[in-house]
Amino acid sequence: MTKCFFLLDNILQNPYVGLSFGELNGKVQSIDQLLGHFENFTYRNFFHINQIKLLPEDKIKFLLHPSQMPINADINLSKNAIDLINNDKSVYLCLISVLESRIIPQVLKEELEKNKILPHKVVVITSNYDAHNTTIDGIRYCTVNFWESISRHHHQTMSDIAITTPDELTIDNANKKFICLNRNIKPHRIWLMYSILKSGIIDQGHVSYHLPEVDETEYAKCAKEQHTLKRIPNELHDDYKNYLATRMYKRKLDRLKSHVINYSDSIKNYYNDSLLSVVTESDSHENFITEKTYKAIMNLHPFFIIGNPAQHSLLRTRGYETFEDLFGVNCVMNYTQAVKLWQNIYNKDIGVLKQDIKMKYLDKLIHNQQLFLSRKICWNNITKTLIEIVS
């Protein structure tokens, strides 16, 4: 029996393509991209608001709308949709904000006020781990594991994607100790790059840095702002600025796609020619795990995530193995901790490292890959949680 329904308002009217939300700030978002990868997902209980009279009055209905937090919290709904949300006790606005982890409750509150939408009739599906089952300014939040689900979908269905199977793994042939990919401008990638250069380990790894297109003004601003400088000891600030000007240039490894997510299989050779992955996730503060970590898992690499150590803890609660013992550190959230990590890798003989991985960690790497492919993140469970949150 159907326990709830999902309503649509501003969608593209084309019967020959998949469903997409209508344009919002120049962007069109596919419903398949946002939701279609979840286990058990179905359109069976999706209806346009024009067909709401077909539905039982007593069943909960969630009117879906994409959100682009933290960039903005803009809402584009018809007057009919807003009237339903405010006046029909069975209808709730369900904002889907899953691409990034950060939320902007005050901005969202102001946007709801501008559109005259009652906050207690709103629930947000988010990737923010700490927001789950909380209420902020009357708005309720439901956390979903979006990135693991969509990353698995991509690895299963895309042809041009880097995957290393156990029979392809050639640990003995690797020439580099590590790989570290840093495509887009982020503060933690800047101070980490400085630590790599200062540790003299750059030639022992495959390292990319701020590609393919770098906004030089944005980069200079980010590199010199306090949220970057505070991760570097004060006595090194002058030296850091000299490195910025003379040594921290763009570094390219493989062929890059135009997509925000670079899934090209041209990176596979770099994974196979290295032993470890030092992962710079999208956000070093939030407990937010994206395709960057799952790429390392799918290429059978021991990995270490720079930033919030709760990311490793969260992976372990989901059944994954983590490798702090191999890297010799538990947490890297600043330059000093990063230097310790690089020193540990620098001091490892590559031959000994290869043997350690084969003898102590290979089973864990295969376990992680198989777990990633077999785990299920169910739409039915998400639906159940949404109902519980508003009931």
In a domain, 37, yes or no: yes
Same-domain check for residues 137 and 194: no
Same-domain check for residues 317 and 175: yes
Q: Is the per-residue pLDDT at 35 higher than 60?
A: yes
- Per-residue confidence (pLDDT) for residue 259, from 0 to 100: 56
Q: What average pLDDT does the chain have?
A: 94
Q: Which phi-psi region, left, alpha or beta, contains residue 116 (left: φ > 0; alpha: ψ -120 to 50)?
A: left
Q: Report residue 6 as tokens.
A: 């999902």
- Per-residue confidence (pLDDT) for residue 261, from 0 to 100: 67
Map tokens 């979006």 to a residue.
146
Element housing 154 (H / E): helix 146-157
Same-domain check for residues 135 and 265: no
Question: What are the tens digits of pLDDT across the range 229-276?
Answer: 999 999 999 999 999 999 998 898 877 665 556 677 889 999 999 999
Same-domain check for residues 85 and 158: no
**DSSP per-residue string spanning 76-88:** ---HHHHHHHHH-
Question: What are the tens digits of pLDDT across the range 90-129?
Answer: 999 999 999 999 999 999 999 999 999 999 999 999 999 9
Question: What are the tens digits of pLDDT across the range 1-26?
Answer: 689 999 999 999 888 888 999 877 77
Q: Are 321 and 364 in contact (CB under 8 A)?
A: yes
Q: What is the CATH number of the domain that holds 266?
A: 3.40.50
Q: Is the per-residue pLDDT at 379 higher than 70?
A: yes
**Average pLDDT in the 144-173 region?**
96
Same-domain check for residues 85 and 179: no
Same-domain check for residues 114 and 226: no
Total domains present in the chain:
2
Question: What are the tens digits of pLDDT across the range 303-362?
Answer: 999 999 999 999 999 999 999 999 999 999 999 999 999 999 999 999 999 999 999 999
Residues of 116-128 as b/e, b for ≥16 C-beta within 10 angstroms? Answer: ebbbebbbbbbbb
Same-domain check for residues 229 and 264: yes
In a domain, 391, yes or no: no
For residue 93, give its domain range: 4-144
In a domain, 385, yes or no: no
Q: Is the per-residue pLDDT at 148 higher than 80?
A: yes
pTM: 0.95
Q: Are 290 and 315 in contact (CB under 8 A)?
A: no
Same-domain check for residues 42 and 131: yes
Q: At what angle do helices 335-346 and 187-198 cross, to 10 degrees?
A: 40
